[in-house]
Chains A and B, each alone.
Chain A
Amino acid sequence: MEKYIDKGLSDWMQQDGPESDVVLSSRVRLARNIKGLPFAPLMTDKATKQLIDQARNAMNQQYLQELGSFELLKLKDISPLDRKILVEKHLISPKLDSEYMQTAVVLKDDEAANVMLNEEDHMRIQCIFPGFQLRTSYDLANQIDDSLEATIDYAFDEKLGYLTSCLTNVGTGLRASVMVHIPALVITGQVKRLLSAIQRVGLAVRGYYGEGSEAVGNLFQISNQITLGYSEDEILENLEDVIKQVIEHERDARKHVLAHMKINIEDKIYRSLGILLYARAISGQEAMERISDVRLGIDLGMLKGISANILKELMVITGPGYLQKLANRELSSDEWDSKRAKIIRERLANIQIDK
């Protein structure tokens, strides 16, 4: 357990991937249920035990071991703070945490994959990779699925595919999502139009939520909405095509911003950097917004000496759970803000300004 907590950053946060100037990460989830066990709303203690036993048995099979080293953890054996950090690291969902007495998670040691047990579905296989790597992410999830399926009978219907507790997941059970950082589209006011176009082609867009309600840090999560009637390949291809366009539009917008709004954009980036370098207290939401500006400064070549992955990194290590872990005690919200400001100052210490 400790290794997942102590290692603040998963590989997807530390590493670059393809098109990582715009795409921060690619995630794939497969929803699966076990034949003969009741679904989430009617789940019993006995069925929960069967579910975890079957998952443990599947984990001991060679098929899965060939894919890497996996560990099964029951959430009730994990401290509340450590669970919170797993949520902040996206290794478990808030829902899995909120029902911790009955849930478990299988973690892959490099944190690229996990299987949540007894979430909304019996099993949710999730894989996450840095940058634009939907196929890599799906391939791993698919292999894990194959290995589990070697010993587990899934609830499957010829016409409806994989049966899930909620109708929104039935069919492939596949939810593929990509997190994009699109500050230039936001600055140039094109984002609304783009996002509504994306929704019209059957994809869902969600902002990345900080403490407030608005999408913060110019981050958006784009995912497929439909899971039935199309093959996995078609679903991925459709999403990929749209993301490719988003990438292109964002790159064009960045060029436009440099060509026509240079002073405005420089001012914005340097002001944000100034705040991050000197603030003594900062809220999670403001931190995300300022770091988004700094990240744009790095992408545009104005700021050097620091990894562009700072954005992904700080999303996690400035979360309340992680900050509390670092402090090793309960923190008040004022303390969070000052602790957060301190970590950011330290993290940005080596930044070089292109004068």
Chain B
Amino acid sequence: MDCQECKKRPAAVHLTKIINNKKSEMHLCEQCAKEKGDVSANFSFHDLLSGLLNYDNNKTNVFEQKQCQQCGMTFQQFYKVGKLGCADCYQYFGEQLDHILRKVQGKLGHTGKIPKRIAGDISVKRQISQLRQQLQNSIYEERFEEAAAFRDQIKALEKQLEQ
């Protein structure tokens, strides 16, 4: 099969995009794919993004003004490239990203591996939030002795975090 762009070289890059359940395919040689640059390489995710945001013009302006204070990437740039500029972008675009992440990933909240050197603190925090949940349940069910025990455990863990 020949490249759709130049119709000379054999197609080596095959892209599939699905918009509104309609599937279309693109077949490009390596050179043409390269020339199309980031846009073609990312275009399926990019299209997905635009579908997911699906906002009106007013909202666009609000989003576009957001900028990562660490790397300087704007939301508009992110939207164009489909990729974030640095780890801090996750904070600066937090609200919008949560919205997209929920759709891309289904649910939020990492429950997997934690780097060993920082695992201690995080697992304590995970424990605290579990205990808080249990504390609320026991108050709700009027089991106050149990609630007091949970409260003490939380306090102890919080102290441990402060050290």
Contacts and interface: CB of A to CB of B under 8 A. Distances in A.
Given A38-B86, A41-B83, A160-B90, A171 B1 contact: no
Interface stretch (B55-63, B106-114, B138-146, B147-155): B106-114
A202 interface: yes
A174 B112 contact: yes
Interface string A219-234: 0000000111111100
Given A41-B81, A41-B83, A165-B84, A213 B14 contact: yes
A170 B84 CA distance: 11
A167 B108 contact: no
A227 B105 CA distance: 7
Given A42-B71, A166-B45, A167-B100, A229 B83 contact: no
B112 A159 contact: no
B1 A212 contact: yes
Contacts of B45: 166, 168
Contacts of B120: none
A172 interface: yes
A31 B90 CA distance: 16
B65 to A, nearest CB: 19
Interface residues of B, number: 43
Contacts of B13: 94
A157 B90 contact: yes
Interface in B106-140: 106-118, 122, 125
A212 B10 CA distance: 9
Interface stretch (A7-15, A148-156, A265-273, A286-294): A148-156
A158 interface: yes
Contacts of A150: 116-117
Given A41-B81, A149-B117, A228-B107, A33 B87 contact: yes
A98 B111 CA distance: 34
Contact of A158 (B14, B113, B125): B125
Contacts of A278: none
Contacts of B122: 158
Contact of A159 (B81, B87, B109): B109
Contacts of B41: 95
A39 B107 contact: no
Interface in A326-342: 333
Given A39-B85, A149-B115, A167 B104 contact: yes
Given A168-B105, A213-B27, A228-B106, 16 more contacts: A37-B86, A98-B30, A120-B83, A146-B116, A149-B115, A149-B116, A161-B112, A163-B87, A167-B104, A168-B45, A174-B112, A209-B14, A213-B1, A213-B11, A228-B107, A235-B112
Interface of B: 1, 10-11, 13-14, 25, 27, 30, 34, 38, 41, 45, 71, 73, 81-87, 89-90, 97, 100-101, 104-118, 122, 125
16 contacts: A39-B83, A41-B38, A94-B13, A95-B41, A146-B116, A149-B116, A155-B87, A162-B110, A165-B83, A166-B45, A168-B104, A209-B14, A213-B14, A229-B107, A229-B108, A235-B112
